[in-house]
Amino acid sequence: MSLSFLQDNQNITVPMSLTMKLGPKIRNSYVLGSISIIMTLVSVVGGVEYPAINCRKHSAVLTDFGAIGDGTTSNTDAFNSAITNLSQYVNDGGALLVVPPGKWLTGSFNLTSHFTLFLQKDAVILASQDESEWPSLPVLPSYGRGRDAPDGRFSSLIFGTNLTDVVITGDNGTVDGQGSYWWGKFKNDELKLTRPYLIEIMFSDQIQVSNLTFLNSPSWFVHPIYSSNIIIQGLTILAPIDSPNTDGINPDSCDNIRIEDCYIVSGDDCVAVKSGWDGYGIKVGIPTQHLIIRRLTCISPDSAMIALGSEMSGGIQDVRAEDNIAINTQSAVRIKTAVGRGAYVKDIFVKGMTLSTMKYVFWMTGSYGSHPDPDFDPKALPQITRINYRDIIADNVTYSARLEGIPNDPFTDICISNVTIGVSEQKKKLQWNCTDIAGVTSGVTPQPCDLLPQKDGNECPYPDDILPIENVKLQTCTF
Ligand SMILES: *[C@@H]1O[C@H](CO)[C@@H](O)[C@H](O)[C@H]1NC(C)=O
Ligand SMILES: *[C@@H]1O[C@H](CO)[C@@H](O)[C@H](O)[C@H]1NC(C)=O
Ligand SMILES: *[C@@H]1O[C@H](CO)[C@@H](O)[C@H](O)[C@H]1NC(C)=O
Ligand SMILES: *[C@@H]1O[C@H](CO)[C@@H](O)[C@H](O)[C@H]1NC(C)=O
Ligand SMILES: *[C@@H]1O[C@H](CO)[C@@H](O)[C@H](O)[C@H]1NC(C)=O
Ligand SMILES: *[C@@H]1O[C@H](CO)[C@@H](O)[C@H](O)[C@H]1NC(C)=O
Ligand SMILES: *[C@@H]1O[C@H](CO)[C@@H](O)[C@H](O)[C@H]1NC(C)=O
Ligand SMILES: *[C@@H]1O[C@H](CO)[C@@H](O)[C@H](O)[C@H]1NC(C)=O
């Protein structure tokens, strides 16, 4: 490799593998050789450090595969060939794909195992609005039908199934779902298949999604399903507050999940914990469990900061929510269920919430309705029990609580302690509206309903053990 070679080939793209091998001396010779090559080096390389569950031995840049970051050329083939190429390293230390600064239009593409997708600062992945760029998939077994249309569903923009060890991260790069096209079709009832999600990972283990900004998903943003050992961290998720079903993060039939330090503004629930729909979810029977959600900031005027359900037919248990903030949000940690769902929502622990401008602080709904089939099993009653909330400060609240269990299937063992709620100017007379529930309260103002009698000095439980996913330490990786 000589300086004159480089000078004669100033417009070559420097592959990662090559630049990694070059010593500082030769890298300096680029500086002498070519301004344009310096730009490539500065923007694409430069010893980037990032935290991840696993580092990778190999790396490549999207442009190595013919991608053009002009915002109008489709790069679906480039993403697919890059990831197919890098999948050769699955058993050889894994690989990382760099998405450099630029606007990279693409349809849906699939991830591989032992793989990292890294979006540099000012890298924007733009989702195509051309439906031919979105392959279809069968409906999810635990849902039995699509949520927008009964038959199939569009594959998510970034999709993975049956994988081990996948990281989607970056230096706060952006994935923009350009959802307005899909929201319009949904509102006009023109969808033949269910809308795609921004990211969906199925049947996988060891997943990290972190340090990125996600905009305008066609529907839900981040959907891990039938998966385990998941870290979701440092995401900024933004969608218009009137966009349909733009849930932020939906852990669905997943085990061991840690969601932390995310900022979400959306048209639906900031986090929606799910596990399947009526008989389909009961049959698949995979719960969401061992989930911690901490330091979330949520703005969602028409939905919840954290919803449990309404699709919860595989069960939801051991959910911990700590130090979360909601502003101008309809409700805080809401339980949604219905006759026909079966299963349970139990062992829910909420500690430390700061809430401002809320319609409800506490909201549970046993009559949510919304069934995949009209002939759901009326004997499939959900069991809602051991729901604990403590250390909450709220202001400008319209209703303190609306707690509606199911007749002959009450929600039991509800515990609420150390809660101060400041009601708004437009406060409603009936601050605590309770039916078919049972539990206790302590140190709660305004005064709770008779179904939640005061038990002085009672502190609602919060587990003092640590979930296995909380012990996972991220390594410092470089490329
Ligand atoms: C990712 O965010 C974490 C904090 O959540 C921060 O410590 C880390 O430096 C960030 N990494 C990158 C590559 O931006
Ligand atoms: C993909 O992998 C092959 C085999 O390792 C390699 O020779 C080739 O250069 C790669 N393709 C691109 C576009 O980098
Ligand atoms: C992506 O994965 C899905 C599900 O396995 C599959 O149907 C589809 O063909 C894959 N797409 C590509 C481009 O490999
Ligand atoms: C993925 O895993 C699921 C559950 O183990 C299995 O039913 C399915 O056949 C697998 N799919 C592929 C493409 O390997
Ligand atoms: C990431 O980008 C978003 C959108 O520009 C911004 O709001 C957020 O503060 C950024 N996060 C970090 C950690 O820089
Ligand atoms: C209080 O809440 C109402 C809606 O109930 C809202 O219009 C108003 O701006 C809020 N006030 C403050 C000070 O946040
Ligand atoms: C009550 O909750 C507040 C936060 O809202 C917290 O600072 C305080 O320590 C709690 N008190 C007790 C006795 O736990
Ligand atoms: C109380 O809650 C029930 C059940 O959710 C509802 O039907 C009723 O309208 C509520 N009453 C008031 C006064 O808000």
Model pLDDT for residues 345-376, shown as the tens digit of each residue? 999 999 999 999 999 999 999 999 999 999 99
Domain 39-227: give its CATH code: 2.160.20.10
Atom 7 in ligand 3: residue holding the nearest Cα: 137
Tell me whether strands 164-170 and 288-294 are parallel, antiparallel or unpaired. Answer: unpaired
Residues 442-479 as b/e (b if ≥16 CB within 10 A, e otherwise) read bbbeeebbebbeeeeebebebeeeebebeeeebeebeb
* Nearest ligand for residue 119 CA: 1
* Nearest ligand for residue 204 CA: 4
Which of the four pLDDT bands, split at 50, 70 and 90, describes residue 11?
very low
**How confident is the model over 43-56, as a mean pLDDT?**
83
Site to probe by mutation for ligand 8, drawn from 331, 364, 404 as the one with most ligand atoms within 8 Å of Cβ, is 404
CATH of 269-463, one of 2.160.20.10, 2.60.40.2580, 2.60.40.10, 1.10.3720.10: 2.160.20.10
Mean pLDDT rounded to a whole number for the chain: 91
**How confident is the model over 244-263, as a mean pLDDT?**
98
**How confident is the model over 240-263, as a mean pLDDT?**
98
Model pLDDT for residues 53-99, shown as the tens digit of each residue? 999 999 999 999 999 999 999 999 999 999 999 999 999 999 999 99
Which of the four pLDDT bands, split at 50, 70 and 90, describes residue 3?
very low
Atom 3 in ligand 4: residue holding the nearest Cα: 203
CB of residue 407 inside a 6 A radius of ligand 8: no
pLDDT of residue 2: 30
* Contact present, 268 and 238 (Cβ < 8 Å): no
State the residue for tokens 């979360």.
324
Above pLDDT 70, what percent of the chain?
90
Tokens standing for 326?
Answer: 């909601």
Please give the full DSSP string across 187-245, using - where no structure is assigned: HTT--SSBPPPSEEEES-EEEEEEEEEEE--SS-SEEEES-EEEEEEEEEEE--TTSTT
End-to-end CA separation in angstroms for the chain: 22
Model pLDDT for residues 125-144, shown as the tens digit of each residue? 999 999 999 999 999 999 99
Which of the four pLDDT bands, split at 50, 70 and 90, describes residue 150?
confident
Tokens standing for 85?
Answer: 């190429």
Domain(s) labelled CATH 2.160.20.10 in the chain stretch across: 39-227, 269-463
Which of the four pLDDT bands, split at 50, 70 and 90, describes residue 286?
very high
As for ligand 2, residues whose beta carbon falls within 6 Å of it are 64-65, 85, 88
**How confident is the model over 198-203, as a mean pLDDT?**
98
Q: Is 268 a catalytic residue?
A: yes
